[in-house]
């Protein structure tokens, strides 16, 4: 049982064998770092280690694990979702089924399978509440990915009732932070904005063009907060219902753009391109269940987190891989 301090419990994790799928990715690296800091024995798996769309490789991946944290996903921003709906649902459904079955076969003690806010219905009332997860179809621009991630909740319930697999499913808000992808076509909104404003500022441009109308709202969670919530979610006994992981704060995209521009130091004009999709108009979470169930509350404020991410990007931009479409 985890402590209610909101911090991972060393007494729970020390010497515990943990496998993190997607452990070399954005969220995975932060999860693994925090797990190691409390004494866990961590295996961080990347795409080069196992192909989780293949059942036999998923079984091998979780072998001899006490806890499995399933983060591996085929994922991207709105542009990527529009171009790749087939691979997004195929790969993520296959990985989810294979990991659950592998944990059953391997008699894993606990499985944390991370879901996305994209799983919520397109017409869900805000803030999103867990009991409304299955009340409608996800928003069209990311529906295949959202349906695939929503399936993790059904898998968790079915495997618990049939075989007693102790699994839990956190539903995580939009993430950002140091180490994110800054690809202009396929990254999420905060890293894309940071890169656009920094490059415009460096070139001396007087305007930056951003996708959509700027009217939608989102919730943004720092990756370190998300990693802590995932770890706390594994500590608590028998978490049978999905729980939202976020800060519960709604931020308009126009306000976000102004904040990023200010942090970067860009003082030109922000131009919105309405030919590009907005996606869901409002998306933020009711986070009370996570507070009550695992003792989690977000700690990193948005401006503070953006400043940290801007600093990281400026220090690392030259060493990042080029955009795939460049």
Here the tokens at position 24 are 């070399």
Q: What are the φ and ψ backbone dihedral angles of 123, each rounded to 5 degrees?
A: -105, 20
DSSP label of 6 = S
257 burial type by CB count under 10 A (0-12 exposed, 13-18 middle, 19+ buried): buried
DSSP label of 70 = E
DSSP label of 322 = P
Here the tokens at position 32 are 């693994």
- The residue annotated as part of the active site, out of 80, 120, 145, 313, is 145
E strands along the chain, which residues?
17-21, 41-45, 67-70, 110-113, 115-116, 167-168, 170-172, 174-176, 207-211, 217-218, 220-222, 243-245, 251-252, 269-273
Here the tokens at position 55 are 């059942």
Cα-Cα-Cα-Cα dihedral sign, residues 132, 244, 276, 151:
negative
Catalytic site includes residue 145? yes
C-beta of residue 283 within 8 angstroms of C-beta of residue 117: yes
Contacts 24+ apart (CB under 8 A), 200-207: 200/266, 200/268, 201/264, 201/265, 201/266, 205/268, 206/268, 206/269, 207/268, 207/269, 207/270, 207/271
**Which residues are annotated as catalytic?**
145
């Amino acid at each position: 049982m985890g402590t209610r301090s909101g911090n991972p419990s060393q007494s729970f994790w020390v010497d515990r064998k943990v496998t993190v799928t997607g452990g070399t990715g954005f969220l995975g690296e932060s999860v693994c770092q925090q797990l190691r800091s409390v004494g866990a024995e961590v295996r961080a798996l990347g795409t080069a280690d196992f192909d989780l769309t293949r059942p036999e490789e998923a079984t091998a991946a979780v072998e001899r694990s006490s806890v499995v944290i399933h983060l591996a996903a085929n994922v991207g921003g709105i542009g990527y979702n529009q171009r790749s709906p087939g691979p997004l649902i195929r790969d993520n459904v296959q990985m989810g089924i294979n990991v659950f079955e592998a944990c059953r076969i391997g008699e894993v003690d606990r499985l944390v399978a991370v879901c996305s806010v994209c799983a919520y219905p397109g017409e869900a009332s805000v803030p999103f509440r867990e009991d409304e997860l299955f009340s409608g179809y996800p928003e069209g621009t990311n529906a295949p990915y959202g349906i695939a991630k929503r399936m993790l909740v059904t898998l968790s319930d079915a495997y618990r009732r049939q075989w007693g697999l102790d699994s839990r499913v956190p539903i995580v808000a939009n993430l950002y932070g140091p180490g994110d992808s800054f690809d202009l076509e396929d990254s999420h909104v905060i890293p894309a904005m940071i890169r656009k404003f920094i490059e415009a500022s460096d070139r001396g441009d007087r305007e930056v063009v951003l996708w959509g109308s700027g009217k939608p709202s989102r919730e943004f969670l720092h990756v370190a907060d998300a990693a802590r919530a995932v770890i706390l979610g594994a500590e608590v006994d028998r978490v049978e219902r999905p729980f939202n992981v976020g800060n519960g704060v709604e931020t308009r995209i126009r306000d976000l753009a102004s904040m990023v521009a200010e942090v970067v130091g860009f003082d030109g004009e922000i131009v919105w391109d309405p030919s590009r999709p907005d996606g869901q108009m409002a998306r933020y979470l009711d986070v009370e269940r996570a507070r009550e169930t695992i003792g989690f509350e977000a700690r990193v404020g948005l401006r503070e987190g953006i400043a940290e991410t801007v600093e990281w990007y400026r220090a690392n931009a030259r060493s990042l891989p080029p955009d795939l479409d460049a």
